[in-house]
């Protein structure tokens, strides 16, 4: 049960550098868990790390969603629909 699937996940205190890194690490953890080759101890460590990463990703997504809401409340909302440019050219 050694090898790639037997390695422990990164330390709990280790924050991913960004959303994409967290998602990539989460995919590796899930793949490792799906093999069924991990010991119980490693499986639990992978699960804990995965839950930490899920929480991190959820926080990042909530923050991004909040930023989009703020932007939609202002002038950028008009640009997304493309109506602003058409309205300006109309007589």
List, for residues 1-31, the tens digit of each pLDDT value. Answer: 334 445 556 665 688 999 999 999 999 999 9
**Cβ pair 50, 30 in contact under 8 A:** yes
Pick from 50, 67, 37, 56: nearest CA to 9? 50
Residue 73 pLDDT: 76
pTM for the structure as a whole: 0.67
What domains does the chain contain, in order, with CATH numbers?
4-89 (1.10.287.1040)
């Amino acid at each position: 049960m050694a090898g790639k699937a037997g390695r422990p996940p990164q330390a709990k205190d280790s924050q991913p550098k960004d959303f994409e890194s967290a998602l990539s690490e989460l995919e590796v953890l899930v793949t490792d868990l799906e093999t069924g080759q991990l010991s119980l101890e490693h499986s639990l460590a992978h699960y804990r790390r995965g839950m930490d990463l899920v929480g991190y990703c959820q926080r990042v997504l909530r923050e991004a969603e909040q930023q989009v809401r703020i932007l939609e409340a202002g002038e950028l909302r008009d640009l997304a629909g493309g109506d602003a440019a058409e309205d300006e050219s109309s007589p």
